[in-house]
Structure formats: structure tokens, C-alpha cells
Amino acid sequence: MSNKACLVLLLDGPMQSWGFASRFTRRTTALHPTKSGVVGLLAAALGIDKHGPDEAVQVARLAELGCTTITLPKNRGGRELPMLRLSDYQTIGGGYDKGTDWMKKPRAASGATLETVLSERHYLLDARFGVLLEGEVAYLAEIATKLKNPTWGVWLGRKSCIPASPLLVGVGSDSAEGWKLLIKAARLDESVTLEQFDHVIEGEAAEGQDSEWLNDTPVAFGAAIGERHAPRRVRQVRRKLPSESSIT
């Protein structure tokens, strides 16, 4: 009997944001969940302290899970909603009384206080994703238990992106059973296949001319900037479209 299993997540919310190349004041989002974002979500549920002495070991164990993300349709009122991208202009600090509220002003790495910081944040609207995580059955069962009662808050990339439904779908014996659990939870026709949806695969399965490298394997969220992630090889697989002969 195999000791492998597949943990299934459904990421659904009014806003999501999955940064993988964000720096300074412009914070972009990928069009699919990043592995670092998913692992961060699981780490919060498990209560992994990013300042703890064994954080890197625990994060590495999560990062070893095989991860496939699937873009799922989202319907409302009988029609499919398009996934949109929102650019939100934000300000941080400014307008404080220097004599009484200096602690509230944004601070530079040197410790000096700053004036108003302008920031551009990107979000996905009306997005819905499925995630299949493959690993040891006992470990996935532990994660599933914590997702039902997480230690800390969980969100879809950023703290402002709150899930609209429970994240945990269930644990299947393999990816095929995990797919069945996902499409049932997403209320899709049971005859649909993974190839009918845009999805992202990683590792050896992603090798090929159309693969790419992202700085998206989490190493330690509490490490210094530049040391928190390692490269991850992925391939974005586009859904199969009907042949011209079948279009009417």
C-alpha cells in the first residue's frame, strides 16, 4: 500500500494576490497561485514561526510537496465571470504629528522615519483556483487537520485577501482521486479533465522549451531579503481548445 496521497485545496475569494517578483513600492501578482504563497498559507495554518530556530527545516518539508495549480471558472447568475486584475494605489504614512505620533511613521532599514510612501498593489478579482499537493499521507493528514482549525489566519496571498470558502477540500489517495474531489467541490461536470483547464506543473514534468524558472521555492520566510526563495522550474499548460472543425 502506497504511503503517498494528494491534498486538495480550493482557493476562492473576491481578491487574491500572488507576488513572485515584487520589489519596493510596486507589488505585482502572478495569474496563478505561487508555491511560496501556498506554502506560506500552510505554514500559517501549522503555526510555523518564521523567527523560530527550525523554521527553515519545516518550510523545506512543505516545499518538497509536489504542487499543481489549476485555474477554475467562477460562475454567477448563470454566466462565467472573467478574471480581472486590479491596480490599487495606496499610501503609507504621512500627515502624522511628528511630536506625538512619530512611532506611526514608516521607517527605513536604517531606522530613520520617512514621509509618505506611495505604493501600487495588484490583485486578481473573481479568481478561483484548485491546488493539488502530493506527498506522504501522514503529513498531508496533519496539514488537513490544521487547515480545519489554523493556528494563525490564512489568506490568499495577502492579509487583505480573505478566502470566501473553506480552503480544504480533502485528501485523496492519488492525484486522480484528488482531481475528482476538486471538481466535485467546484461544482463542475464530473466528466471534465485537467487538460480542459489552464494549469501549472513543476519539476521534471515541467521540463521543455516552454518551461521557465521563477524565484518561487520558499527557503525561509524569516531569512534576509534575497535569501528567502530559491529557483523553481514550472510550465504553464494552456487548456485544450476545440478544433476548428468542431466550432459552429
Which tens digit of pLDDT belongs to each residue from 221-236?
A: 988 888 899 999 999 9
Burial bucket for residue 212 (CB in 10 Å: 0-12, 13-18, 19+): exposed
Check pLDDT > 70 for residue 190.
Answer: yes
Check pLDDT > 80 for residue 172.
Answer: yes
Cα-based distances in Å from 122 to 84, 155, 164, 237: 10, 15, 19, 23
Which tens digit of pLDDT belongs to each residue from 1-41?
A: 579 999 999 999 999 999 877 666 778 899 999 999 999 99
Tell me how long the chain is: 248
Angle between helices 137-148 and 35-46 (to 10 degrees): 70
β pairing state of 212-218 and 168-172: unpaired
Contact by Cβ (8 Å): 157, 28: no
Contact by Cβ (8 Å): 50, 228: no
Interval 124-144 mean pLDDT: 97
Q: What is the CATH number of domain 4-87+124-246?
A: 3.30.70.2660
Interval 117-136 mean pLDDT: 93
Global pTM reads: 0.86
* Residue 129, H or E segment: strand 117-136
Check pLDDT > 90 for residue 63.
Answer: yes
Q: Domain coordinates of the chain in residue numbers?
A: 4-87+124-246
Which three cell numbers, joined as nine digits, stand for 190?
464530473
